[in-house]
Structure 1
Amino acid sequence: MDKKEPNHINQTNGFNRRHVIIGAILAGASAIAYTRQPEVEMPVMGAKIFHELVPRKFGDWTPLSQGDVVLPPPDALRDRLYDNLVTRVYEKPGTPPVMLLLAYNNEQDGVLQVHRPEICYPVGGFQLSETRKIGIAVAGRSIPANIFTAKSPRRTEQVIYFTRLGDAFPRSWSEQRISVMRANLAGDIPDGMMMRVSVLGIDQQEAMTILTEFTREFIEASPHQLQKLLVG
């Protein structure tokens, strides 16, 4: 019996050592995972501050009442999806009024993401044309954007919009999700901004000229803080 006891002690010690080693490995893995958790890049911006950043007048454009701007569909996450949501209508002599929507959230984590217009317009009863890719020239660069026509029984609306997520300008829902995942893998939770402009009663080609020029003037007339939110 005395000869077997050391073997039993050695087995027990070996068993304990294995547990200590496994525990250390798991603790190290947990520490690494914790340190690599994505972090929010941008702080939350107060609604009042955001509204004050949006130009009331720029160039020959002056604001009207909000009008019939199509808002994103309400849902249970609406308040979390949009830290900031601004809708305005601007007019300019000799030009149809332009409807503007800005939607901003400081945290795009793959679950909470800005609605794309291709989702909210059909919910509002519109039929959409094929979405076309365009570029908007702003301050010596081309911003990737989309244009489509939305039709309902009572109106036809030409729509241009772009979204910025961190450093990316995704043009589709799949690109948007990929942009968020890439940022998360790099350790960041990007912010998200959508700028949407639209006009009623004209064809798409004429609308594209008006809306791209409006967008350029609006961004260039915006204060630096809003410019960064719009185009990075």
Structure 2
Amino acid sequence: MFLLASDEGLDVSAAIVRGIVVLALAVSAAAAAYVWHPTKHLVDEIGQPNLGQAFPLQFGEWREDHSMPVILPAPDVQAKLDAIYNQVLSRTYISQKGERIMLSVAYGGDQSDGTRAHRPEVCYPAQGFQIMSGRTADLDIGAPKKLHVKQLMAKLGGRDEPITYWVVVGDKVATSSSEQKLAQLRFGIRGIIPDGMLVRVSSIDNEPERAQRVQQKFISDLHQAMALDGRARVFGT
């Protein structure tokens, strides 16, 4: 009789455990669905930046250079960019020393998997360039923390183009693919789809180290010249 009671107790306990497990799985599934399928867009809360206003035409020893034509991407590449980004800004700047910097900024209000920022490692080869080398770097730009960037050397025929770029997802710098994914998850837990910005600085120079020093100076001067609200969206917090 005691054995029967014990068996019944075990059956009841097992049923309770199964119920708890099923409930936990259901909650986990619901949470996962919420994270992987967020519905609110961050841009609806904070609005789109105006790239033309956020990036000054003149700052420090730099001013926009109208003598250099902006090189547009191939039509098929441009079509892909238009599908991903809401705004694209391209400018060339020249310093008082005659140093030229090409600035390209792309903003997208939806940084979900299908519309994440396309990095130069993808865009440049699509236009015929070879990526000869690449590395990450932390640049001192006069901010409380260093700016985490990717530096590349792209080549097309006799044209050497050193590149420095970074990506901001929401309010955080997330330059690598894994960092971008983590930033997505951080917002996804809150049911939010973040916006994103890719900032690319490049120049025509066959000496990468010299080019990177000039690019770092340009980025630092830009950071100092920007208004605080624009600075947070371009350089992260």
TM-score (norm 1): 0.76
The 1:205/1:35 distance shift into structure 2, 3 A limit, reads closer
AA of the residue aligned to 1:88: R
Question: What 5-or-longer segments of structure 1 have no aligned partner?
Answer: 1-24
Stretch moving more, 149-158 or 34-43: 34-43
Identity of aligned residues (%): 25
Structure 2 counterpart of 1:153? 157
C-alpha offsets along residues 105-155 of structure 1, whole Å, 9 cap, x if unaligned? 222122211110111110111111221110122323101101011011141
Structure 2 counterpart of 1:183? 187
Equivalent residue of 2:160, what SS?
Answer: strand
Equivalent residue of 2:112, what SS?
Answer: coil
The 1:80/1:226 distance shift into structure 2, 3 A limit, reads farther
Q: If you compute each CA radius of gyration, which structure gives the higher value, 1 or 2?
A: 1
Q: Are the aligned partners of 2:171 and 2:232 in contact in 1 as well (CA < 8 Å)?
A: no
AA of the residue aligned to 2:134: T
Q: Are the aligned partners of 1:40 and 1:190 in contact in 2 as well (CA < 8 Å)?
A: yes
Say how many residue pairs are matched.
201
Query: Which of residues 67, 70, 81 is equivalent to 2:69?
Result: 67
Is 1:202–2:206 an aligned residue pair?
yes
Q: Are the aligned partners of 1:69 and 1:99 in contact in 2 as well (CA < 8 Å)?
A: no
Query: What is the CA–CA distance in structure 1 between the aligned matches of 2:59 and 2:206, rounded to whole Å?
Result: 23
Structure 1 counterpart of 2:4? none
C-alpha offsets along residues 202-227 of structure 1, whole Å, 9 cap, x if unaligned? 31111111101101111221222321
Equivalent residue of 2:113, what SS?
Answer: coil
Is 1:164–2:165 an aligned residue pair?
no
C-alpha offsets along residues 93-113 of structure 1, whole Å, 9 cap, x if unaligned? 224210001111222122211
Structure 2 counterpart of 1:17? none
Is 1:214–2:218 an aligned residue pair?
yes
AA of the residue aligned to 1:110: D
Structure 2 counterpart of 1:89? 92
Query: What is the CA–CA distance in structure 2 between the aligned matches of 1:190 and 1:151, rounded to whole Å?
Result: 33
Q: Are the aligned partners of 2:88 and 2:104 in contact in 1 as well (CA < 8 Å)?
A: yes
Stretch moving more, 173-182 or 100-109: 173-182
Equivalent residue of 1:108, what SS?
Answer: coil
Q: Are the aligned partners of 1:193 and 1:230 in contact in 2 as well (CA < 8 Å)?
A: yes
Structure 2 counterpart of 1:133? 136
Is 1:57–2:31 an aligned residue pair?
no
Structure 1 residue 80, shift from structure 2 partner: 3.9
Stretch moving more, 179-188 or 199-208: 179-188
Q: Are the aligned partners of 2:168 and 2:175 in contact in 1 as well (CA < 8 Å)?
A: no
Structure 1 residue 200, shift from structure 2 partner: 0.6
The 1:94/1:119 distance shift into structure 2, 3 A limit, reads same
Structure 1 counterpart of 2:126? 123
The 1:108/1:98 distance shift into structure 2, 3 A limit, reads same
Structure 1 residue 38, shift from structure 2 partner: 4.2
The 1:188/1:116 distance shift into structure 2, 3 A limit, reads same
Q: Are the aligned partners of 2:171 and 2:233 in contact in 1 as well (CA < 8 Å)?
A: no
Determine which structure has the larger helix proportion and give its number. 2
Question: What 5-or-longer segments of structure 2 have no aligned partner?
Answer: 1-22
RMSD: 2.6
Aligned structure 1 segments of 4 or more residues deviating by more than 6 angstroms: 32-36
